[in-house]
Amino acid sequence: MKALNFKSIFSALVIPLAFAGGFFFFFYVCGDGSNFQGGSNENLPIPGNYFGVVYKGGIVVPILMSLLLIALIFSVERLITISRSKGRGAMVKFVHKIKDLVLSGDFDGAFEACDRQKGSVASVVRHALQKYQEMEKDTALTKEQKLVFLQQGVEEATSLEMPALEQNLPMLATLTSLGTLLGLLGTVLGMIRAFAALANAGAPDSIALATGISEALINTATGIGTAAVAMISYNFFTTQIDKITYSIDELGFSIVQTFSAKYQEQR
């Protein structure tokens, strides 16, 4: 519970800190005078200086930078959390080992394997094995009732682990759409500036036209990049959680089936 509270605090702090970092980088790094002709960010960027080019992308760019930073931070945090949830050893080997130990009735060995493995799968298995032993000792319930309670025990343990695994994934899913929409907004604003330069009487303002087109393309690229990072991270971590959930379901089913097979007669 404390770990979950810490993660909630961490998630709440990431967003304002990322926005502070994104705006700082935009105004004080990209907007530094050394990136522009004449030493002022009011002028054109020095040829080949990408920091200056990015700065000319307009006010939507630092927002997109902040969203990209949020996506990267949450991706790293999810990578660490989900890697820990798998445990120390290979999850597939652990699943097969637990199934063999349960079938042979070696619960002490199964508990030791869970202690060595750690992680979400091991935690659910340990809870299920404890429930298994509790049902074995209960003489008041029928076999069917014991199976129901055992299955409920597995489901309860699984439901306790899932919030920690799925935390921050909705944020990554939101950033996928938000990055695209804000990139589109910046593109539209850049094109408005470009067409405004074309609308001048007489010769079009070529500098304003180039600036507007550049702003549009920079916002497009940043928005697509942010959405791509968020989408790849979301799909990757969702797949990893599905694998963990499948392993939990497989072991839970195996434990329930072993109990059912052992107690063919109603006790």
pLDDT in tens, 234-253: 999 999 999 888 888 888 88
pTM of the model: 0.82
Q: What is the DSSP string of 178-234?
A: HHHHHHHHHHHHHHHHHHHHHTSSSS--HHHHHHHHHHHHHHHHHHHHHHHHHHHHH
Rounded to an integer, the average pLDDT of 201-216 is 72
Which residue ranges make up each domain of the chain? Answer: 91-165
Q: Half-sphere exposure (CA, 13 Å, Cβ side) for 88?
A: 6
Token pair belonging to 151: 């299955």
Separation in Å, CA 87 to CA 93, 101, 238: 11, 18, 17
Q: What is the DSSP letter of 31?
A: T
Rounded to an integer, the average pLDDT of 206-231 is 86
The per-residue pLDDT for range 21-60, each reduced to its tens digit, is 999 999 999 999 999 888 888 888 888 888 988 888 888 9
Rounded to an integer, the average pLDDT of 5-34 is 85
Question: Which pLDDT value is given to residue 202?
Answer: 56
pLDDT at 148 over 70: yes
